[in-house]
C-alpha cells in the first residue's frame, strides 16, 4: 500500500476504496466482514499503524474477530469481572469487586457492549474519578469490547446498626465530632468549613451545633429561614438549610444562648439531635461544646460517633486541654482521626512567622498516635468570613484555606470508610469451622472463639446478679453446639449477638479479647 505525501498519521488520505485490492489483497473479501463496522475498524487500524506491514494488520483484525465470536456470555461476564478486579481501593486495600462495588453488570458479545454501575460507600469518595477512568480502561482493553458504559453511584445513607438508633438518626451514614475541649481555638470555624467542604465533594451533609450556652452557627451561616420549624403531625424538628447543608442549632430555636443547668442542657441537646428530620445524610458534623463534662459524655453515649476531629492551637495550654478530650474519646471508643492546628503561622516579607510557638499539634499526633495533622494559617479572611455568614471555603474556593480543608475532607472520608469497614467485619461467624472470628478495629490481633464460650461469658443482668455478682447462668445451661443466629456491630466498641433462644448479648471487644481462644488459628484461616 502506498501512502502519498503523508506528513502525519492524522492527515493520511486513502486513494483506494475499502473494497478495492490493496497490495494484492482484497480486504473485505479476505476477511469476510459482515458489516461496514469491521471495515471502519480496519481503516482505523491502518491509520494507527501508518506504513506498517499490512499482513500484520490483517492478522490482528482476524484474531480480534475470531476471539469475539468464541466468547460466550458467561465467559464475557467473567472476563469483565476479572478485569475490574485489577482496580484496588486504596482505603480498603482490596479490589473493587471484592468490596462489592460492581453492580448491574450487563454484557453483549454480539455488539461488544458492556455496562455496569460502581456503587461506592459515599458520593464524596475522593478517588471516584480514578475508579471511573480505570474501569473504562481495563474493560475497554478486552479484545471483544467495543463500548463501555460506567455509571457511578453511592450506597444509601445508613449507619451500620440503624435499628438501634432514634428514628431521626437512622439514615445518617457517618457522624463526625469536631472537638477542642477548649474555647476560642476556632473549633466552630473548622466544623462549618469542613461540612461545606464535604458538601462540595458531593456528599449530603448536616451540621449540628451542640453548644447551647453560646451557639456559633447562626453567626457563621446565612440561611433564609433562621427559625427551626416543627412538623405538627410527627412532632419532629425540620432543620433549616444554607447552600444545601442542613442546619440545627439552639440559636435557631428563637432562644439565643441559654442559662440552665447541665442536666437540662443534656436534655435539650438530646431532643434537638434525635428528633430532627435529618433525612438521608452521608455526614453529620457535630460542633461539640468545649469541655469534657456531662454534656459531652451524653452526646457520645446517645450518638454513635464514627470519628472525631481535634482542633488545637500552638500554645501548650491548648495541648493540655486537648489531651483531655482525646482521652475522653479514647475511653468511649471513638477514634480521633485528625488534628487541626489553627492559627499556626503567617507569611510576611517572604518569611513565615509562628507568633504562638510551634509543636502543640505535633505533640498531640505523636503522643496519641493520631495519623493526620493539618496546619491552618492566620488569615483575616478566615475570621471575617465566619462573622459574615459565609464560610471561607465558599467565599474563596480556590484559596489556600480551601485547599487545606479539601485535604481534611479527603482524610475524613477515607478514615470514616476504613472505620466502617473495620467495624462491619470485626466480628463474624464462620459456619464451616463453627467458630466466631474476631478482628478488633485498630489492632492486628485476630483470633477465634467457640460460640458456647462467648455465650457463657455474658455479663448482663440476666446472667449475673447485679448486686451480689453471683453467676445465674450455669455452664451446663448452654449447649456445646450452640451457634449464633446474627452478629451486628454496636458502635465502635461492641457487637450484638442474637442466639437461638432469642437472647441478645452485648459483647464488647475488650471482653472478647479476654476470653479463652481456639488454638490452631492458621489452620482455621485457610
In the chain, the domains with their CATH numbers are 12-39+425-517 (3.30.2020.30), 42-154 (3.30.300.130), 167-397 (3.40.50.300)
Q: Are strands 147-154 and 245-249 parallel, antiparallel or unpaired?
A: unpaired
Phi, psi (5° rounding) for residue 441? -55, 145
pLDDT in tens, 142-188: 999 999 999 999 887 677 665 667 788 888 999 999 998 666 788 89
Residue 24 reports pLDDT greater than 50: no
How many CA atoms within 13 Å lie on the side-chain side of 328? 26
Alpha helices in 333-399 (DSSP H): 360-368, 380-388, 392-395
Confidence of residue 345 (pLDDT cuts 50, 70, 90): confident
CA separation for the pair 520, 476 (Å, rounded): 26
Q: How many residues does the chain have?
A: 526
Residue 34 reports pLDDT greater than 60: no
CA separation for the pair 259, 275 (Å, rounded): 22
Residue 125, C-beta contacts closer than 8 angstroms, at least 6 positions apart: 131, 154, 413, 417
Q: What is the pLDDT of residue 238?
A: 92
Region 21-33: mean pLDDT is 37
User: Mean of the per-residue pLDDT values for the chain?
Assistant: 80
Phi, psi (5° rounding) for residue 376? -105, 130
Query: With pLDDT > 70 as the criterion, what percentage of the chain qualifies?
Result: 80
Angle at 491 between CA 489 and CA 494, to 5 degrees: 60
Residue 374 reports pLDDT greater than 80: yes
Region 2-16: mean pLDDT is 36
Place of cell 474501569: 135
DSSP state at residue 239: P
Region 435-458: mean pLDDT is 89
Q: What is the pLDDT of residue 291?
A: 67
Region 451-461: mean pLDDT is 91
CB 409 within 8 A of CB 416: no
Q: What is the pLDDT of residue 51?
A: 44
Residue 337, C-beta contacts closer than 8 angstroms, at least 6 positions apart: 307, 308, 309, 370, 371, 372, 411, 412, 415, 416, 419
Q: Between 447 and 99, whose confidence is greater? A: 447
Place of cell 482496580: 87
Nearest to 333 by CA among 491, 208, 444: 491
C-alpha cell at 146: 467495543
Query: With pLDDT > 90 as the criterion, what percentage of the chain qualifies?
Result: 36
Q: Are strands 336-341 and 373-375 parallel, antiparallel or unpaired?
A: parallel
Q: Are strands 229-231 and 236-238 parallel, antiparallel or unpaired?
A: antiparallel
Strand partners, 21: 26
Residue 7 reports pLDDT greater than 90: no
* E-only strand ranges, 270-395: 281-287, 307-312, 336-341, 346-348, 351-353, 373-375
Q: Are strands 205-209 and 281-287 parallel, antiparallel or unpaired?
A: parallel
pLDDT in tens, 256-277: 555 556 567 777 888 888 889 9
Region 448-463: mean pLDDT is 91
Number of H helices, E strands in the chain: 17, 25
* 3-state SS class at 214: coil
* E-only strand ranges, 60-137: 88-89, 94-95, 102-108, 113-120
Confidence of residue 425 (pLDDT cuts 50, 70, 90): confident
Buried b (16+ CB within 10 A) or exposed e, 423-448: beebbebeeeeebbbbebbeeeeebb
Q: What is the pLDDT of residue 203?
A: 94
Confidence of residue 343 (pLDDT cuts 50, 70, 90): confident
Region 210-218: mean pLDDT is 85
Place of cell 460460640: 451
DSSP state at residue 252: G
DSSP state at residue 36: H
Residue 21 reports pLDDT greater than 90: no
Confidence of residue 66 (pLDDT cuts 50, 70, 90): very low
pLDDT in tens, 97-136: 988 899 999 999 889 999 999 998 888 888 888 999 999 9
Q: What is the pLDDT of residue 262?
A: 56
Say what angle helices 54-69 and 36-49 make with each other, to 10 degrees: 140
Q: What is the pLDDT of residue 25?
A: 36
pTM of the model: 0.75
Order of strands, sheet of 427-430, starting from the edge strand that comes earlier in the sequence: 427-430, 435-439, 446-449
Q: How far is CA 178 from CA 100, 337, 338, in A?
A: 31, 11, 10
Place of cell 438518626: 169
CA separation for the pair 130, 143 (Å, rounded): 23
**Among 35-39, 216-220, 406-410, 433-437, the least confident range:** 35-39
pLDDT in tens, 67-84: 445 667 778 899 999 999
CA separation for the pair 171, 523 (Å, rounded): 40
Amino acid at each position: 500500500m502506498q501512502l502519498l505525501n503523508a506528513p502525519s498519521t492524522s492527515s493520511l488520505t486513502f486513494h483506494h476504496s475499502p473494497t478495492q485490492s490493496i497490495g494484492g489483497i482484497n480486504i473485505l473479501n479476505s476477511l469476510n466482514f459482515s458489516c461496514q463496522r469491521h471495515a471502519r475498524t480496519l481503516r482505523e487500524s491502518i491509520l494507527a499503524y501508518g506504513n506498517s506491514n499490512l499482513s500484520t494488520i490483517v492478522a490482528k483484525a482476524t484474531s480480534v474477530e475470531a476471539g469475539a465470536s468464541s466468547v460466550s456470555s458467561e465467559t464475557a461476564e467473567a472476563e469483565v469481572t476479572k478485569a475490574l478486579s485489577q482496580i484496588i481501593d486504596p482505603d480498603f486495600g482490596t479490589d473493587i469487586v471484592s468490596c462489592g462495588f460492581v453492580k448491574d453488570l450487563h454484557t453483549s458479545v454480539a455488539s461488544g457492549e458492556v455496562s455496569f454501575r460502581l456503587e461506592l460507600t459515599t458520593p464524596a469518595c475522593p478517588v471516584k474519578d480514578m475508579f471511573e477512568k480505570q474501569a473504562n480502561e481495563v474493560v475497554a482493553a478486552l479484545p471483544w469490547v467495543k463500548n463501555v458504559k460506567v455509571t457511578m453511584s453511592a450506597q444509601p445513607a445508613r449507619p451500620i446498626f440503624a435499628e438501634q438508633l432514634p428514628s431521626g438518626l437512622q439514615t445518617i451514614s457517618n457522624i463526625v465530632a469536631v472537638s477542642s475541649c477548649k474555647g476560642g481555638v476556632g473549633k466552630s470555624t473548622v466544623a462549618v468549613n469542613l461540612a461545606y467542604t464535604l458538601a462540595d465533594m458531593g456528599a449530603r451533609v448536616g451540621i449540628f451545633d451542640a453548644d447551647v450556652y453560646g451557639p456559633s452557627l447562626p453567626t457563621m451561616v446565612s440561611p433564609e429561614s433562621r427559625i427551626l420549624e416543627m412538623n405538627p403531625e410527627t412532632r419532629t424538628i425540620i432543620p433549616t438549610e444554607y447552600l444545601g447543608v442542613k442546619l440545627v442549632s439552639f440559636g435557631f430555636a428563637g432562644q439565643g444562648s441559654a442559662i440552665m443547668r447541665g442536666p437540662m442542657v443534656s436534655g435539650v441537646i438530646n431532643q434537638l439531635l434525635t428528633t430532627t428530620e435529618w433525612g438521608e445524610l452521608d455526614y453529620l458534623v457535630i460542633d461539640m461544646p468545649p469541655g469534657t463534662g456531662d454534656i459531652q459524655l451524653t452526646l457520645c453515649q446517645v450518638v454513635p460517633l464514627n470519628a472525631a476531629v481535634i482542633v488545637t492551637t500552638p500554645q501548650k495550654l491548648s495541648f493540655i486541654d486537648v489531651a483531655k478530650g482525646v482521652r475522653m474519646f479514647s475511653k468511649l471508643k471513638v477514634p480521633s482521626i485528625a488534628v487541626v492546628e489553627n492559627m499556626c503561622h503567617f507569611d510576611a516579607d517572604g518569611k513565615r512567622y509562628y507568633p504562638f510557638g510551634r509543636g502543640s499539634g505535633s505533640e498531640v499526633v505523636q503522643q496519641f498516635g493520631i495519623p493526620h495533622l493539618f496546619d491552618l494559617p492566620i488569615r483575616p479572611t478566615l475570621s471575617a468570613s465566619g462573622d459574615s455568614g459565609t464560610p471561607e471555603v465558599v467565599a474563596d474556593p480556590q484559596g489556600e484555606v480551601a485547599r487545606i480543608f479539601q485535604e481534611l475532607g479527603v482524610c475524613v472520608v477515607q478514615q470514616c470508610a476504613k472505620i466502617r469497614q473495620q467495624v462491619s467485619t470485626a466480628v463474624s461467624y464462620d459456619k464451616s469451622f463453627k467458630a466466631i472470628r474476631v478482628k478488633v478495629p485498630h489492632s492486628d490481633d485476630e483470633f477465634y472463639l467457640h460460640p458456647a464460650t462467648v455465650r457463657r461469658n455474658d455479663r448482663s443482668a440476666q446472667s449475673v446478679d447485679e448486686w451480689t455478682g453471683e453467676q445465674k447462668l450455669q455452664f451446663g445451661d448452654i449447649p456445646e453446639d450452640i451457634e449464633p443466629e446474627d452478629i451486628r456491630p454496636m458502635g465502635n466498641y461492641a457487637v450484638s449477638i442474637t442466639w437461638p433462644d432469642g437472647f441478645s448479648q452485648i459483647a464488647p471487644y475488650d471482653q472478647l479479647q479476654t476470653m479463652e481462644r481456639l488454638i490452631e488459628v492458621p489452620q482455621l484461616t485457610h
